[in-house]
Amino acid sequence: MTTEFRPITLEELDEFKRVAGNALVQSPDTFIGMRPEFTLCAFEDGKLSTTFAAWPFTMRFNGTAMPVGAVTTIGTFPVYRRRGYLRKITSLYFQQLHEEGERPIAILYASHAEIYQRYGYAVVSTQGSYNITPDYLRFVFPNNATGAFKEIGDDDFPLLVNLYRQFREERTGFLHRGREMWNAGVLAAPPAGGFLQRVVYEEAGEPLGYAVYTAQPGTARLPGNTISIRDITYLKPSVYRAIWDFFAKMDIVENIAWERVPADDPLPHLLLEPRMLHANYKDGILGRIVDVERTMTGRCYDETSVLTFEVIDDFCPWNQGTWKLETSPEGSSIMRTDETPQLVMPVSTLALLVFGQVNASEAARMARLDVNKQEALPVWDKTMRTRYRPACSDSF
């Protein structure tokens, strides 16, 4: 038996889609847009056995742009499973990222987070979902928004892009969207029989937010209609509330669903009956620090601090060791050090901290790190705090 690990060729793209579709139980049409140069696959005796690809995306990282590898289409054809192909591919991919020096973080959505936490990934965001009837969109306080909504069409695409860019600017985990990503995600065709709607909220002619959603008719008599929210942006808190006032007027809609709710979404704190959101929370994106040096200096910090920490990382040994990070609002620097580290942690815990998913004090209480200097914990908590909880509103 011979094994080979390499990108596919253009001639092998259809076979890539077939194997990935079989392994993931998805239609091969799901993988439209994939390019051979984004792939790294396993071949056994010349046959494609394990698929793997990564989009070269850019992610918001607490106010700055961070290039990331967005890993996708991971699957092994059933007859080739349990042979260690994914582990080998992942190791090769991390080595490639490290050598290229452009994308210090890998991110992915996992069908089973257990698989990827073996390789140093951590669940770095929490994704919520809502299901509520419009009747329960009643609020504790009145809204002071003074603007109005208007419907927009295809020609207004630049308006959506501009609002999204402003909304995502200070956040962590949100992706930079090209036109293809918009078309494949937020603006994709609705399900059969449904309608895609885009509305923008304005005050004195100034656009301040939008909602993109689909309306789907029920299978029985009214009010079986449903609304599925695809994307919401808002540049002021009152605009967010105005968007939900808009949805509250959907009189012949039975259910409003939103599947990609950020963990710090304010709606539960605004409603008179928050339990009627039927909110559920699950893993969002998983993140893997492939290059500690570039990751830690690649995000913005709002505090001036000096942090020392030891990283444990057997899978990417170039990260192993003790580091000294100096931060300020103007920038940051990092170097290796012989100083006693304030904290000792596996690389996966460091990912939780730098994304703002948990703080150092919480991680210590979870036994996800060891503390050499207790007085350092509040400093870590302030320094690593992100302006918003991590979230991602796109699939990939």
pLDDT higher than 60, residue 384: yes
C-alpha 286/C-alpha 121 separation (Å) is 6
User: Over the stretch 335-383, which tens digit does the pLDDT of each residue have?
Assistant: 999 999 999 999 999 999 999 999 999 999 999 999 999 999 999 999 9
Per-residue model confidence as pLDDT tens digits over 121-175: 999 999 999 999 999 999 999 998 899 999 999 999 999 999 999 999 999 999 9
pLDDT tens, 187-240?
Answer: 999 999 999 999 999 999 999 999 999 999 987 665 689 999 999 999 999 999
The two structure tokens encoding residue 348:
């996966």
pLDDT recorded at residue 220: 61
Residues 86, 121: Cα–Cα separation, whole Å: 14
What percent of the residues of the chain are helix, what percent strand, and what percent coil, each to the nearest 5? 30, 35, 35
CB 325 within 8 A of CB 350: no
Instruction: Output the pLDDT for position 223.
Output: 63
Question: Residues spanned by CATH 3.30.1050.10 within the chain?
Answer: 291-384
Q: Which two tokens stand for residue 14?
A: 């259809």
User: What is the torsional sign of CA 312, 316, 321, 322?
Assistant: negative
Burial of 326 (0-12, 13-18, 19+ CB in 10 A): middle
| Mean pLDDT, range 105-117, rounded to an integer | 97
Q: What percent of the chain has pLDDT over 90?
A: 95
Q: Write out pLDDT tens, residues 56-83.
A: 999 999 999 999 999 999 999 999 999 9
CATH topology (fold) of 3-103: Aminopeptidase (3.40.630)
Give per-residue pLDDT as tens, 30-55.
888 899 999 999 999 999 999 999 99
Interval 259-282 mean pLDDT: 98
Q: Which two tokens stand for residue 80?
A: 């080739």
Torsion of CA 174, 178, 180, 181, to 10 degrees: 0
Dist. CA 274–CA 265, nearest whole Å: 12
What CATH number does domain 291-384 carry, 1.20.210.10, 3.40.50.720, 3.30.1050.10, 3.40.50.1370?
A: 3.30.1050.10
Q: What is the DSSP letter of 38?
A: G
Percent of the chain at pLDDT exceeding 70: 99
Alpha helix stretches (DSSP H) within 156-304: 157-168, 179-184, 237-248, 292-296
The CATH superfamily holding the domain 127-282 is Gcn5-related N-acetyltransferase (GNAT) (3.40.630.30)
pTM: 0.96
Q: How far apart are CA 22 and CA 337, in angstroms?
A: 48
Output the CA–CA distances (angstroms, integers) from residue 103 to 118, 172, 242, 288, in the order listed: 20, 16, 38, 11
How many CB atoms sit inside 10 A of residue 249's CB?
9
Q: Where in the chain are all domains bearing CATH 3.40.630.30?
A: 3-103, 127-282
In the predicted model, what is the mean pLDDT of residues 257-275? Answer: 98
